[in-house]
Chains A and B, each alone.
Chain A
Amino acid sequence: MEKVFSRPSCLKNKPFRYCPGCSHGVLHRILAETIDVLAIRDRTIGIAPVGCAVFAYDYLDLDMVEVPHGRPPAIATGMKRSRPDSIVFSYQGDGDLAAIGTAEIVHAAARGENITVIFVNNGNYGMTGGQMAPTTLPGQKTTTTPAGRDIRDAGNPIKVSEMLATLDGPCYIERVSVDSPKNVLAAKRAVQKAFKNQISGLGFSLVEVLSMCPTDWGMTPGQSIEWVRTRMMKYYPLGVYKDTVSPSPV
């Protein structure tokens, strides 16, 4: 029988240890397929964050570096400047990119570094057990906001894609989701574009992915998909926020 579907070559034959219903597995696969399709595996370096995806290097069969919390964009900058022919991506959660590493991501974007950033937004600090993140929705319950996020003292959520799109540095910023097969395909197209931009030397690309975190949200995987659709997408609308490569309306 002809084999028509198989594991991407840069995804290891290893079961994911992420929680049931978590989006990292789908995203890892999208990344691996993209690297396969673009045939860049021999020159790609990935940066694993601090967060649930700290173990990304266990699944992706690539050169990977595990770096301290929030620092991936700065370390990616050093790598890319030192080896301009390499393809450097960082894979960061919202605790990493939108909290402790805010300075790094803003300045890498402002400099227009020729790197690719995959930003996984699940609205809380997943690995440490579901504490409030800057991306936590107003009123959302977390372990550090048991009565729900009160924006009067915990502040307002940060819309990373919108914020970074105000900078002149980035060439491409899009927010996607992996809540449905249709959106998974759209996410894959966005990730491929973000890598193609780097291959063509066009500059800083970031894909924000709205992701499910059933365990820390205290929901079933099904409920968490509904939460992404009905709550997160309202606050964080999907779409292209910046595209200097092939301009399209926001």
Chain B
Amino acid sequence: MAITTTKTVAVTGNQAVAEAFRQLNPDVMPAYPITPSTGIMESFTKFVSDGKVDTETILVESEHSAMSACIGAAAAGGRVATATSSQGMALMWEMLHIASGYRLPILMALVNRALSAPLNIHGDHSDGMGMRDCSWIQLFCENAQEAYDNTIMAYRIAEHKDVRLPIAVNMDGFIISHSIESMQYITDEDVKKFVGEYLAIDPLLDIENPKSIGALVLPDYYMEHKRAQHQAMLNVKKVVQDVSAEFAKMTGRKYELFETYRLEDAEVAIVALNSAAGTIKDEIDRYREKGVKAGLLKPRMFRPFPHEEVGGALKNAKAICVMDRADSYGSYGPLFMEIASALAPFRGPVLFNKIYGLGGRDLMPLDVDQVIDETAEVAKTGKVKMLKEYITVRS
């Protein structure tokens, strides 16, 4: 397929995702407003009122009901999407397990925001990390373009016959959701062709073949269900790679399981998710000019986590700082634990963990410089002062 005509636009992350939703034209969209994801449902309900989509929107009374309605609609054979943030996702949490346990390919735009308490509406990854064990596929996005592209790819991944799992596309609240960036839209026609018609497998309301979903399973068979779910997760990696390769053919935009930036020969490596990667890349360029061999690894697919590939990409670094925008209190940051697992087979890099940006606190270039300086020092001495440390925080 030749690279298609695209349209350059200046939009917010929320508008970009709403546009992707319009082009995907889901059958049902249940949603409940919550800052900072509200813009997605507002833009989308306007598309509905203007007759630009065939979607049935359901303005439910809570996120628990939003996810429940998603599950009902998907179990009945519909293509379903919703958008939420923070407390909204937290309220959905019970139902997130039901969605994955029923093996329903529901799409969620998760605009990352800190969890209460204390109450905060700004971007961090505590919501996304709170759903990492819910058996949802999780993709993380640095900017509006990635959020749009991953949303366009989401159904192809989630609905694949070897997968059949729900999927969440993450972007940073406010930093991306509310900032206007220049990006490229794909034409409606190409999106339609790329996504294809949805063929629900075993939907309810098949009168000739009645069935039950979610039946009680006691110790005799529960584990087999969960083993099958684990297998589906194992299958995700190849599907993500295949879908991304096809997407690259259409758009020229290449997506891997993770992005590496000047990492090949890096001795000093940083690992970070989402929008912070942009700032870090700029600072890496400055340090490269000074002769410091610095590089970045930015995971795109967090669940399932590609440990083997990530380990392979990082194993030659001398020191690695993993930067987490969430904490697993009493342990290390969630991303750090993944990287530590990925590097377990290798004796090489010295690892340490920084917690940054909670509740939307800015990560400034100078903050990144301090992290690179410290990582370079660790690369030289092999000694880590503090294995886990909060940065840019009042003492």
Contacts and interface: CB of A to CB of B under 8 A. Distances in A.
Interface residues of A, number: 23
A142 to B, nearest CB: 9
Instruction: Kindly name the residue among A100, A125, A132, A145 whose own CB sees the greatest number of chain B CB atoms within 10 A.
Output: A100
B54 to A, nearest CB: 14
Contacts of B62: 70, 99-100
A145 B45 CA distance: 7
A134 interface: yes
A54 B62 CA distance: 18
A146 B49 contact: yes
Given A102-B61, A134-B61, A146 B45 contact: yes
B87 A69 contact: yes
B260 interface: no
Contacts of B119: 50, 54, 66
A34 B356 CA distance: 45
A143 B49 contact: no
A131 B116 contact: no
B87 A143 contact: no
A132 B48 CA distance: 15
B61 A144 contact: no
A161 to B, nearest CB: 18
Q: Which of A68, A132, A154 has the most CB of B within 10 A?
A: A68
A39 interface: no
Q: In terms of DSSP, what is the predominant structure of the interface of chain A?
A: loop
A128 B33 contact: yes
Nearest to B88: A69
A35 B49 CA distance: 46
B56 A153 contact: yes
Interface string B55-68: 01111011100000
A124 to B, nearest CB: 10
B116 A68 contact: yes
Nearest to B34: A128
Contacts of B42: 129, 131, 143-144
A163 interface: no
B235 interface: no
B18 to A, nearest CB: 12
Interface in B96-129: 116-119
A168 B42 CA distance: 39
Given A50-B87, A128-B34, A146-B49, 5 more contacts: A66-B117, A99-B62, A100-B61, A144-B41, A144-B45
Interface of B: 32-35, 38, 41-42, 45-46, 49, 56-59, 61-63, 87, 91, 116-119
